[in-house]
Structure 1
Amino acid sequence: MTEFGADRSGIADSTAAVAAAIEAAGNLPGPRQVVFPTGTYRFYPDRAVPHELYLSNTVGADPAFRDKRFALYVEGIDDLTIDGQGSRFELHGQLGLFAVIGSSRVTITNFEFDQVAPRIVDLTVIETGPGYRVVTVPAGSPYVVESGQLSFMTDPSPYDGTPYWRHSTDVLGVGQQVFDPVAGLASRRPAWLFENLVSVTDLGERRLRIDYRDETTPDGLGMVYSLREVTRDTAAGFIWQSKSVAVTNLKARYLHGFGILGQFSEDIVVEGNEFVADRSTGRIAAAFADFVQMSGVKGTITIVGNTFDGAHDDAINIHGTYLPVTAVDGRTLHLRYAHNETAGFPQFHFGDELEIVNRASLRAVGQAVVTAVTGPTGRDSRSLTTMSITSDRDVPAEVATDPDAFAVENITYTPAVRIAGNTFRNIPTRGILLTTRGRSVIEDNVFDGLDMASIFISGDASSWYESGPVHDLTIRRNVFRRPSPNHPVILIHPENTVTDEPVHETIRIEDNTYEGGVLVEAKGVRNLVVGNNLVL
C-alpha cells in the first residue's frame, strides 16, 4: 500500500493512493489482496472519484446528491480482500467508507474507522439552572457562535480551506434524539434542546450556555442530545450487483449517511463487527440512520456476532421493494418508484420472477418471468422514477382493469436470513425489521432497552413500500432486556387495509427470555407458534 503513496502516519491524504492500489490489484491474477501496513490513514472527498449512483432508502432521485464518493471503491474486481491489519481510517467530509459494485468474493476486514467531524453532533448537558443549560461539545464537532446563534460544521478541506458543510441548529436538530449514557437508553424526545431559545454563549473549553425564554430549570442533566440534519446523501458501505461479499472485524465508530446497504446482490455476510462510537470523544451516535439495510438481496444474508450500539434509526432492515403499477399494455407492466427515498436503480433483470399483489390486501394475484426491462440503470439520470417490464404470460384481468390497485415485487431477490449472536442497545427505534419469503432465523441475540419493538415484521405497499410476505421465520433463544413499555417485544403487523386472508405464512417464537411487557402482538399470520418463552 505505501508503495502507492499511502501515508500510514495519518498526516497526508491517502485517498488517491488507495484508489491506485485497488486499481492495480484488479489488474493482477486472483486471488488479490490490498493490505494496509498498520497505521493511521486519512481520506478526503476532494480526491475521491465521484460516481453517479442511486441507492435505496437514501435521497432517491434528488439530482443534488447523484454523485457518491467512497474511500474504498471496488468495481469489477473478483477474489479481493482489503485487509486493514488493525489500522485506523479517518474519513473527512461527506465521504462513504466503501463501495463494492459488480464484483464477487470480496472481503473488507480488520480496521477501525471514524468520521472526523460527523454530521451528527452529540451535546452533553453538564449543568442546568433557571432558564438555561450548559452543554459540552465533542472535540470533533467544530462550531461558531455569532450574534448569539450557533452553527456546526466540518473541519476545513486541506485543498481549499472551506468546510464541507455548515448547519445552524434549526437545520441540524431536525433529527434530534436523546441518549441516557448511564441507563444506556435512547429515545426520540419531542423536547427540542433549542426550543424557546434566547441566545447561545460560548463559555470556552468547548462549553456552550443555552438561555431560554422560560425561567424554569429545564430537565436533561447528564443527557446527551444528539442532533442530525436528516439528508441521507450516501451510504457508509454500498454493495450492489455483487456476490459473496463479507464485511468482518471492523470497529465502526460512525457510519455516515446510511449504514451498510446491500442492493440487488447475492450472499452477504456481516460478521464480528463493533458498531459503537468512541465514547472517549464525547460522542454517542455511531450511525446517521440504520446500521445495516438489505434491499433486494438474494441467496443468503448472514449477520452474526456484531454489536449494534447508538443508531439514529433501526439497527437492521431487510426487505424488497414494491413498485405500484401505473398502466398495463398487453404483457407489459408500467411501474413507478413510490417512495421519495427510493428510486433510480434497476429493480428487475431479464429472467427474474415477479409477483403481482393487491396493494390493499397484499394478496398475490399472479406470478411471471421477466422477458424485457426498460428503466433506470442505477448509473445515470434517465428514467429515475418509472420503469416497464414485460412478462412471459398474460397479465391477470383484474390487474389490466384496475392497475392502480396493484404492485409488483421481484421475488427472485428475496433472501434466506440468519441473524445470530448480536447485541442491540442504545437504539431509539427497532432492532430488526425483516420481510422476506426466504427461510429465516433470528436466534441467540440480546436486545437491551430498545425504545420500540425489538423485532418488527411488517410489509406494505402503501407507505414505505417495503416488501414482502414472510413464509418461514423462527425467532428463538433471544434475550429481551428492558423492553419498551409502549410497544410489544415482537410486533407482526403488515400494513394491509383489507384483511380477508393472512399475509405471512409461518412464524415461530420459541424459547426466548424477556423482562416483562407484551411478548408478541400479531396480525396477518396464517400459522403463529408461540411456546416455551420465559418471563423474568
Structure 2
Amino acid sequence: MNQFFLKIMAAAVLLVSFQSTAKSVINIKHQEGDMTPIVRKAIEDNTDKDVSIVFEKGKYLFLPDYAVDKYSYITNHGNGLKKIIFLLEGYDSVAIEGNGSEFIFHGQVAPFQIENCKKVTAKNFTIDWDIPFLFQSEVMTVNQKEGWIEVKPFTKGYSWTLNRDQLSFPDIDGFSFFELGSTLEFDPKLKRVAYGALDMSVGPRYVEKKQNGIIRIYDKFRNYPSVGNVLNSKGESEQNRYAPAFQTKNSQNILYEGITIHHALGMGFLFERSEEIVISKCGIFVRPGSDRVVSTIADATHFSNCKGNILIENCKFQHMLDDGTNVHGTYVEINKIVDSKTVVVELKHFEQLGFEFAGIGDEMWFIQQPSPDRVAVNKVAKVLTVNDRFIQITFENNLPSNLKLGDNLENKTWNPVFTMRGCTINDHRARNVIIKTPLKIIIENNNFSSMMSAIQLRGDNYYWFESGAVEDVSIRNNHFVHCAYGGAESAILYVTPRLGKDFDDKAFFDRNITFENNTIETFGSRIIWADRVDGLKITGNTIIQTKEAVDLYPNSPMFDLINCNNVAISKNTYKGENKNILNADETSKKNLKVKGNKGF
C-alpha cells in the first residue's frame, strides 16, 4: 500500500467518530473531495456486528481510485472485478442514514454491495453520477435513402470523443464504449420513449464530423428516428450493465426508504436470494431540470429467487431503460444425470453465470418435457459448484425415473409473496411490472403508463430462463393511462409464457388471475392478451379509448384468448370505437363466460 494512500486513510480518522454502544454508530462529517477512502476505512475499522452509518447532510463525491476491488457475480449484469464504495458483509444489522444527503459517483463504481446481513436499513439520500454512461443527441436530419442521420450530441455534462471516423463514450478513467449499441428514441418534451419507437442496436459503419457541432452517423437503422427527437445510447449489450446502485444478496429484513436514484450503471435495486423486503417512498427518475432522458441503465427494481414478503409502496419509477420491477425465479437445465440422486445442471443465460441457484435444504420442482407443470419435489442434500455455469446437486431422495437431459429444475423454496401499491411507474422503456412467482401477487392502487405491456406475466425457459408460472394474482384498482405506445404489439395485461421447442405449447401454464376494478385510458385496442391461462377473471373495469394517438394495431381485439380455460368477462364498461372486442379460439370458448358488460 503506497504512502499517499496511507496518509489519506489516516486523515479519514479525523472525520469519522465512533460511539461505543450496543450498536456501533459511525458519524461521517461532510467535507469536499473524494469520500471513498473515508467510508472504506470507517467500514473496515468497525468490528461490531451491529452498525449504523450516519451522514451529516451534504453533497458527497465518491471516486473509484480507492474503492474496494472484488470479483462479483451480479445476476442480470456483467460479472467481473468491481470497484465497490460501500461493501457491507456479514452484519447482524446495518443501517445507513443519509439525512437528505446527495451521493455523487464518478466512473465505473458499484455504490452498495450488501451481502449476508440479517437486517438492512438505508434511508434518506440521493444517488447520481457526475457524468452519465450514456450518449445523448438531438436528431437534426434523416436520410433513409442513403442510410444516415445527422445528430447534434449533448455536450454539457456528457463525455464522448470523435476520433477519425468512430465515436466513443463516456471516455472516463480509461473506459469507453466503441459503438452506440443499444439505442432508443425519446420525445424530448414529454421525456418518455417516442411513440412507436423500437429498440435498436447501432454499430455505425462510420461517423463523420459536420459543422456546428453536428455529426453524421452511417448505419442501417431498424427504425429511423424523427427529426427533433432525442436518441439515447448505452453501449454494447454485454458491457453496459456494470453494477446496480444496490446489490443486496443473501440478506434479510430489508428496508429501503426515502432513497432517490437519478442514475446507475445498471439497475436501481437488485435483490438475490434475499427475504422480507420493503421499498418505500423511493424514487428512480431523472433529476428535475436535467436534460437527461434516462435514469437507470436497466430495471428500477429486480428480484431474483427471493422469498418471504416483498412490498413496494408509494414509489415513483421513471425514465429507466428497462422494467419498473421484475420478480422471478430461475430455471436451470439438466445437463448430466450422475447417479440415482445426483444431477449436473446448467445456468443457461450469460447474465445468470455464477448465480447461487440452490442451497442445502432447498426444495426443487422438476419440470419434465413436454409438460411445463411442476410435478415431483425433492430436497437438496448437497451442492457442489463446478464453475460459474455448472452446478452439481445431490438430492435426499431418488430422481424421477423418467428424468432426461433438457428437463428443468425450479427452486420451490425461494419464491416470494409480492405486493405493489400506491406507486407511479411511467415514461420508461419496457414494462411497468413483469412478474413470475407462484405465491400471492397483489398489484393495487397504482398509476401505470408503459411503452410495452403495463403488466406482463411471462415464465421463460427459452431465453432468459426466468421461472415461473403464476397461481394467484390480483390486479385491482389501478389507473392505466397511455399504454403500449412502443412499436412492438403489446397489451395492458399480457400473459405469454415462452417455452422451449420441446415443451407443449398448448398446455396451461399460468393460473388464477383476477383483473378487476381498474380504470384504463389509452388509444390502443389491446387490453388483455392471454395465452395458456387456466382461470382468468376480468370484472368491473372501466375502459376508455382515447384520441391521444393513432392506434398502432387497430385490427387487434380488446380481449384475445389463446388456449385458455375458465375465463369470465363481466360487468366491465367500454367507451370507444373498437368493434373487435373478443377473439377466443376453440379451447378458450369451452368454458368462457361473458355477461353484464356495458358498451360491448
1:343 to 2:353 alignment? yes
The offset of 1:186, in angstroms, is 0.9
Amino acid at match of 2:132: P
Contact kept in structure 2, 1:69 and 1:96, CA below 8 Å? yes
- Distance, in Å, in 1 between the alignment partners of 2:520 and 2:357 is 39
Contact kept in structure 1, 2:481 and 2:520, CA below 8 Å? yes
The offset of 1:198, in angstroms, is 5.6
Contact kept in structure 2, 1:431 and 1:447, CA below 8 Å? yes
Residue 481 of structure 2 is matched in structure 1 by: 481
- Give the alignment partner of residue 64 of structure 2, picking from 42, 45, 55: 45
Amino acid at match of 2:289: S
Residue 378 of structure 1 is matched in structure 2 by: none
Instruction: Write out aligned runs for 1:61-76 (5 A).
Output: 65-76=79-90
Contact kept in structure 2, 1:7 and 1:41, CA below 8 Å? no
Q: Check 1:349–1:198 CA distance in 2 against 1; reply closer, same or farther (3 A cut).
A: closer
- Distance, in Å, in 2 between the alignment partners of 1:181 and 1:210 is 20
- Distance, in Å, in 2 between the alignment partners of 1:531 and 1:245 is 35
Instruction: Write out aligned runs for 1:35-434 (5 A).
Output: 35-59=54-78, 65-125=79-139, 127-128=140-141, 133-147=150-164, 149-155=166-172, 163-168=173-178, 171=179, 173-186=180-193, 188-189=197-198, 199-201=208-210, 203=212, 207-210=213-216, 220-229=226-235, 230=237, 231=239, 232-328=241-337, 329-375=339-385, 383-399=387-403, 402-404=404-406, 406-434=407-435
- Distance, in Å, in 2 between the alignment partners of 1:213 and 1:250 is 40
The offset of 1:243, in angstroms, is 0.3
- Distance, in Å, in 2 between the alignment partners of 1:220 and 1:116 is 29
Aligned residues: 501
The offset of 1:129, in angstroms, is 8.3
Q: Check 1:36–1:143 CA distance in 2 against 1; reply closer, same or farther (3 A cut).
A: same
Q: Check 1:39–1:526 CA distance in 2 against 1; reply closer, same or farther (3 A cut).
A: same
Residue 569 of structure 2 is matched in structure 1 by: none
The offset of 1:142, in angstroms, is 1.8
User: What fraction of aligned residue pairs are identical, expressed as a percent?
Assistant: 26
- Distance, in Å, in 2 between the alignment partners of 1:364 and 1:533 is 32
Amino acid at match of 1:466: E
Give 3-state SS (helix, strand or coil) of 1:397's partner: coil
The offset of 1:66, in angstroms, is 2.0
1:16 to 2:37 alignment? yes
Give 3-state SS (helix, strand or coil) of 1:166's partner: strand
Q: Check 1:460–1:134 CA distance in 2 against 1; reply closer, same or farther (3 A cut).
A: closer
- Distance, in Å, in 1 between the alignment partners of 2:219 and 2:529 is 43
- Give the alignment partner of residue 539 of structure 2, picking from 507, 512, 531: 531
Give 3-state SS (helix, strand or coil) of 2:177's partner: strand
Deviations 1:419-445 (A, max 9, x none): 111111122211111000111101111
The offset of 1:90, in angstroms, is 0.9
Amino acid at match of 1:302: L
- The CA RMSD measured in Å over matched residues stands at 2.5
Higher relative contact order (CA 8 A, sep 6+): 1
The offset of 1:185, in angstroms, is 3.0
Amino acid at match of 1:523: D
Structure whose CA Rg is larger: 2
Contact kept in structure 1, 2:372 and 2:507, CA below 8 Å? no
Give 3-state SS (helix, strand or coil) of 1:341's partner: helix
Gaps of 5+ in 1: 60-64, 156-162, 376-381
The offset of 1:136, in angstroms, is 4.1
Relative to the length of structure 2, the TM-score reads 0.78
Deviations 1:342-398 (A, max 9, x none): 1113211111111001254312230011111111xxxxxx61110111112221111
- Distance, in Å, in 1 between the alignment partners of 2:521 and 2:72 is 44
Deviations 1:265-298 (A, max 9, x none): 1111222111011253321110111111100001
- Distance, in Å, in 2 between the alignment partners of 1:190 and 1:53 is 29
Deviations 1:213-241 (A, max 9, x none): 99xxx863332211111222322210111
- Distance, in Å, in 1 between the alignment partners of 2:308 and 2:207 is 56
Amino acid at match of 2:34: D
- Distance, in Å, in 1 between the alignment partners of 2:533 and 2:395 is 30
Q: Check 1:198–1:527 CA distance in 2 against 1; reply closer, same or farther (3 A cut).
A: closer
Contact kept in structure 2, 1:35 and 1:82, CA below 8 Å? yes
- Distance, in Å, in 1 between the alignment partners of 2:203 and 2:380 is 53
Give 3-state SS (helix, strand or coil) of 2:56's partner: coil
Q: Check 1:397–1:288 CA distance in 2 against 1; reply closer, same or farther (3 A cut).
A: same
The offset of 1:193, in angstroms, is 7.9
The offset of 1:96, in angstroms, is 1.6
Amino acid at match of 1:491: Y
Amino acid at match of 2:136: D
Deviations 1:287-336 (A, max 9, x none): 11111110000101111111111111222110010110112211112111
Q: Check 1:300–1:132 CA distance in 2 against 1; reply closer, same or farther (3 A cut).
A: closer
Give 3-state SS (helix, strand or coil) of 2:260's partner: strand
Gaps of 5+ in 2: 1-11, 18-27, 545-600
- Distance, in Å, in 2 between the alignment partners of 1:177 and 1:511 is 34
- Distance, in Å, in 2 between the alignment partners of 1:480 and 1:101 is 37
- Distance, in Å, in 1 between the alignment partners of 2:167 and 2:135 is 12
